[in-house]
Chain A
Amino acid sequence: MGDNPLNPVASPAAQSGHPLPLLVAHNLCKSFGGIQAVDHVSLEVGQGSITGLIGPNGAGKTTLFNLLCNFIRPDSGRVVFDGEPIGHHPPHNIALQGLLRTFQVARVLSRLSVLENMLLAAPHQTGEKLWNSWLQPQQIRREEQQLVEKAKLILDSVGLSHMTQSYAGALSGGQRKLLEMARVLMADPRLVLLDEPAAGVNPTLIKQICHYIQQWNREGITFLIIEHNMDVIMSLCDRVWVMAEGKNLAVGTPEQVQTDPQVLEAYLGQ
């Protein structure tokens, strides 16, 4: 995997048995009006791991995601990514540092082609600066060629290569999920927050998605996954965090969590 073109920042920790925390959230709080959506929640994501985040609907999982990448500012608490506090960074900077997210309902850019969706995600493009179209037109063209190649490679690996030139808005629900994940991959991620990657997706595609996630994980990308489908959690995750009513409820291996009476109670009621 050393010469893997998809991820130049593959870290040795991914292969080692002792993962260091890549992301640490400490005592995060957020309330909307009178509702305490996230209440002193802490979380750790080990370097190179696939970590799960589960909880009943309304437990505050998605809000926690928004807090982690600063889409919503927390009321208190702090987030440390790769040893550096990122609480004061604007969301786009966090993305540029390698902490990328997807959305619960896949959001593609409808009136852009699938390829354009992919190209957009690449960070630090020369051509994104207005004046560089005069200063470095050659450089822009070169980068663009490389990006197109990389994008095609990734699209190929998720089986979307036949849709390269179609509008992203013409994709089916499952294809949108794939495109969203492929697009995140273009952004050179170190940690990807996946919000329900298997929601509304047929069982065959779920298997494929799990396969891709494991493959990308082997290539050095760390994942934090919100998911309701316990099969997905069981097959993928090293460690699972459970939230309920905006609070930490439990943490452990999938097996431990599944048999935890507190978790069962939160999911099934009394």
Chain B
Amino acid sequence: MKTFLFGKKPTADELIEVESQGLSRSKEIWMRLMRDKSSMISLGVIVILVLVAIFANLLINKSLVTEQNVAERIQGPSAKHWFGTDLYGRDIFARVVYGSRISLSIGIFTVIISTTIGGLLGAVAAYYGGVTDSIIMRITDVFLAIPEQLLAMTVVAALGATPLSVIAALSVAVIPNRTRLVRSAVLGIVDSQYVEAARAVGMKSQGIILKEIIPNTLGPIIVVSTQGIASIILTVSSLSYLGVGIQPPTPEWGSIIFEAREFLRIAPYMILLPGLVIVLTALAFNLVGDGLRDALDPRLKD
């Protein structure tokens, strides 16, 4: 059996061969994903972004992020300053590279926290039903009644505008959404035979939720989470731009644009280049999400 991990694109025949051999489901999904060009390119973009964020200090000297150089202020893109320089003569490319640490980690951590908490709440609500379900869902309804972005803003306002409180605020805003999603996914399988069988052999409720129910709802959760990273990165940058998120001089992508907003007409590169990075990142996560959805359920693909 050939392995296709990171290898060449599998052909349709090879896929059928693999499917007929009854490979594990995750491998099968990975194969289907590999056949989708835009997902693979996007995945490449994400890997590069994450590597750049992790190894930013090896690529670019950290002092460039804050180093002001009045002699070189407001210069367009050049070989020395790839994205040009800002009002204070700081290198915008360096700021964007270091900003990726903040933007990406807020996106990823928020998704992990909100999906874990929201997922558990949703699974518990759907599994136990009755009063537990009512209590969880009524509280969720209250949170859902406030538009996500507004809720995040008010929490940031209360907790202060540090990256940690932004993660907390966004998690609070996103959890209800995930609770509802997972609850409806679990409701669909809670009466299925394998859950009944697990109960019949005497498995405990926690075990059934963690080992039987959650693994079987992972598909839609993974898709929503992947695209959730994109939407959170966009929300974070919007919060910073509105002046209620990460504050300058911290180089979050939105706050880099916030600082440059007065220069839209004179020096649009200051806004367009960091903006392009935001768009590419969000696009990559969205496309991988689309690809995953098709790979998980090929019937949905048109």
Binding between chains A and B: no
Which A residues fall within an 8 A CB radius of B?
A: none
